[in-house]
Amino acid sequence: MLTLLTSMYMVVRAISPQAEPIRVVVTGAAGQIAYSLLFSIAKGDVFGKDQPIILILLDIPPMLPVLDGVVMELQDCALPLLREVIPTDKVEVGFKDIDAAILVGSMPRKEGMERKDLLKANVAIFKTQGQALDKYAKKTVKVLVVGNPANTNCLIASKSAPSIPKENFSCLTRLDHNRACSQVAMRCGVSSDKVKNVIIWGNHSSTQYPDVHHAKVNLSGSEVSAYDAVKNDAWLRGDFISTVQLRGAAVIKARKLSSAMSAAKAICDHMRDIWFGTKEGEFISMGVYAAGNSYGIPEDLIYSFPIQIKVQVQSPKQRTVFFRSAAHDLI
C-alpha cells in the first residue's frame, strides 16, 4: 500500500452574482510564457467564467515598453471579465493585495543548460519576490512558482515570506504530468483526457520520476491500468520515462526556445485545480512542501507528489476550499 499523508488548510471565499474582482499578478509578463497565458486568465479559463479579474503585469524596467504592447492587446480583446490591467516594474505595486501570484519571470534556460545552472541568478529574484509577497500580498494568496529551477525557487520564495502559510506555495510539475498523460494517450491511440492519475515524483528536472503504476486509461468506456492499456512494459519503464524527463530539453533543441504554449496550458490547469478542485477519483502532480510525508523525503523541501484538492460549496455566497496535499491511499 502506498500511503500519502495529508497537510490541509482551508480558505473561505465569498461569491455572489456580481463577484468582486480578484487581483492576479503574473511576473515575467512580457515573456513568451506569459504571452500564451494572459489571454486564458483574462477570459475566465482559470478562475471562472463569472470571476472578474484585475491583472497586474510585473517585469523588469527594460521590458516596460513591451508590456505596454501586451496591455494594448489585452484591451483590444474586449474581454468582459478583465476589469483592469496594470503594468509595472515595482514589486510594491505588483504584489499589493493580490489573491494569486504566478511567478513566471526568471533567468531563462538555454540550450545545454541544466536547471542547477540557473540557481545562482534566480536566488536573488525569488528572495526579493518572496519578501514582497510577505509585505504586500494578502495572507491567503496562492503562489505558483514556474521559473526554473522551480522547486528551489519556490522554497526560496516561501522562506522569504514567513507570514504566508507554506501550504499556499506550490511549484509547477503539471507540465511534466501533462507530458506523461500525452505520451500514454498517444501510445494507446486515445485522447489525453482518457488518461488519469499519472504521478510526477520529485523535481521539475531530468531527475523527476514519471510513474504510471496507478494510472488508468479509458478504453472504449472501460478503465484499465496503464500497463494493460499500453501492453509494452519495456517502453513504460524505459523510453516513456526518459522522454518525459528530457522533453523540455528536446523542445529547446527544436525551437531554440523553452516551452511556452504547453507551459501556459499547464499553469492554467494547475491554478484552476487550486481554485476549483480536482475531479472526483483523480489526482494531479504538484510541487508542495514535503512536511508530513511518509517516503523519507526531507520535510524542508518542495517536492512533487500526487495531489487531490477538494472544494465544498456551502451556499450560493460562500465556498470553502480544502487544499489537501497528497491526501489519498493508493493500493
User: Is 296 marked as binding a ligand?
Assistant: no
For residue 324, the model assigns a pLDDT of: 55
User: Is 45 marked as binding a ligand?
Assistant: no
User: Is 168 marked as binding a ligand?
Assistant: no
Location of C-alpha cell 495529508: 6
**Cell representation of residue 317:** 455566497
Map residue 280 onto helix, strand or coil: coil
For residue 119, the model assigns a pLDDT of: 75
Calculate the alpha carbon distances from 267 to 46, 252, 292 in Å. Answer: 9, 19, 26
Catalytically active residues are: 204
For residue 92, the model assigns a pLDDT of: 97
Calculate the alpha carbon distances from 175 to 5, 91, 248, 287, 321 in Å. Answer: 23, 27, 9, 11, 24
User: Is 24 marked as binding a ligand?
Assistant: no
What is the Cα–Cα distance from 85 to 142, expressed in whole angstroms? 19
Calculate the alpha carbon distances from 9 to 12, 57, 286 in Å. Answer: 10, 28, 16
For residue 312, the model assigns a pLDDT of: 65
Give the closest residue to 91 by CA, choosing from 53, 140, 125.
Answer: 125
For residue 12, the model assigns a pLDDT of: 43
Q: Tell me how far the alpha carbon of residue 15 is from its chain's centroid.
A: 24
User: Is 122 marked as binding a ligand?
Assistant: yes
Average pLDDT, rounded, for the chain:
88
Location of C-alpha cell 516551452: 259
User: Is 203 marked as binding a ligand?
Assistant: no
Where the chain has pLDDT below 70, the residues are 1-18, 108-111, 113-116, 118, 312-331
* Domains, the chain: 2-173+259-329 (3.40.50.720)
Task: Tell me the pTM.
Answer: 0.89
